[in-house]
A = this chain, B = another copy of it.
Amino acid sequence: MSEKKRRRAEPSQSKSSRSSSHAHDLKKQLKPDADILATLRRLRDAAQSSTSNQTLTISDLNLASPCREVADLDSPSVLLSIERAALSAARSILSGRGFSFSIPSRSSSNQLYLPELDRIVLKDKTSSRAFANLSTVRKATITARVLSLVHAVLLRGIHVTKRDLFYTDVKLFGDQTQSDAVLDDVSCMLGCTRSSLHVVASEKGVVVGRLVFSDDGDRIDCTRMGIGGKAIPPNIDRVSDLESDALFILLVEKDAAFMRLAEDRFYNRFPCIIVTAKGQPDVATRLFLKKMKTELKLPVLALVDSDPYGLKILSVYMCGSKNMSYDSSNLTTPDIKWLGVRPSDLDKYKVPEQCRLPMTDQDVKAGKDLLEEDFVKRNEGWVRELEMMVRTRQKAEIQALSSFGFQYLTEVYLPLKIQQQDWL
């Protein structure tokens, strides 16, 4: 046996050569792009013709007790609501009864997961916030002040951040958590989204690919945004006139994978819109995804790390986070397909052992907690994947696919996953 052959016979070498030849085998399984595109077209057509749960609203459900959601309202409507609230307070004062606001409760005991809508909503509990009451006078004053500030912002037609709002009256608000909380109260009270109040979060998401839209009147062609992509605007109400010839939206957890896809212009080979919030989804990216999904009626495929946090991120896009539950219908995009990286992919795509990471006890706990969540339970495939993750105690990042070559993600893994319709 020659020196070279003997080396090959060593277990680690033979293993690594097995895994790289496996990557080659996978590449050979790839059909022509036309076939993969046909798969995507069927997926898109299904999304466009489906009368999915997305069109359902609370009122369709005939619930025993009423639930509360907020809606996107235009500025004149919000202004009118605020003026009505002010007028009603003034009348109440003039008639000698002082005034109070009726504030919907946002506590977890007042939250409800609706499987039919796949969203968290608020139940109907409210509390009275009276001015002439020692325990509520402060909050009532803050509420009145926030209403007046929002009124001023809307009248000027501008947008501000929560931090701006806080600084207009530090003495009254004390600290920002208080003005933030009252802002959410006001949102629920007026029945409109926080975006409708023109109070925006800072943006961190980016988008690239087959999408043309207007940002504050400027026409943006996302196929011409280089590798950096277009920053997702914080003010969703200034985003309009979406047009796209994409077949799907690819939602990516991390910016490293986004950069790979953008540089390889993946969207030219498989027409798609690529979007990432660079980790934890921020409100602006969630609103933007929702808007794309609603207006373009495209399927959404998600590419996240194979760990509990990847799935957690998916859940925030899909079902919302608990502290924004009142706004869940505007922030959530139901029916996102989990494309990868899934626990079963690790063996299927022969991700080398050394690129997998052991899960910590905390990871395993997070995985088990997810298995108790309604949004996981209703999808058998997800339950199986999660159970496998917890059993094998292995996790892997999207980047682990780089072990087969830097462009394995765009050239083999994603095309093959799509070809095999391997999403859940």
Contact = CB atoms under 8 A, between A and B. Distances in A.
Interface in A135-170: 152-153, 156, 158-161, 163-170
Contacts of A153: 406
A203 B168 CA distance: 32
A227 B219 contact: no
Contacts of A229: 231
**Quick one: copies of this chain in the complex?**
2
B397 A163 contact: yes
A167 B403 contact: yes
A402 interface: yes
A397 B229 CA distance: 30
A256 B354 contact: no
Contact of A231 (B170, B206, B217): B206
B216 A263 contact: yes
Interface residues of A, number: 61
A419 to B, nearest CB: 23
Interface string A195-206: 000001011101
A258 to B, nearest CB: 9
A215 interface: yes
Contacts of A231: 206, 225, 228-231
A21 interface: no
A399 interface: yes
A190 B18 CA distance: 34
A160 B168 CA distance: 44
A255 interface: yes
Given A278-B204, A406-B153, A164 B228 contact: no
A33 interface: no
Contacts of A407: 156, 158
A263 B219 contact: no
A203 B170 contact: no
Contact of A214 (B156, B226, B259): B226
Interface of A: 12, 152-153, 156, 158-161, 163-171, 200, 202-204, 206, 214-220, 224-235, 238-239, 255-256, 259-260, 263-264, 278, 352, 354-355, 397, 399-403, 406-407
23 contacts: A158-B406, A161-B259, A164-B256, A165-B402, A167-B355, A167-B399, A167-B400, A167-B401, A167-B402, A168-B403, A168-B406, A170-B355, A170-B403, A202-B259, A203-B259, A217-B226, A220-B226, A226-B239, A227-B233, A227-B234, A228-B232, A228-B233, A234-B259
Given A171-B354, A228-B234, 9 more contacts: A12-B171, A160-B406, A163-B402, A164-B256, A167-B397, A168-B406, A215-B225, A217-B226, A228-B233
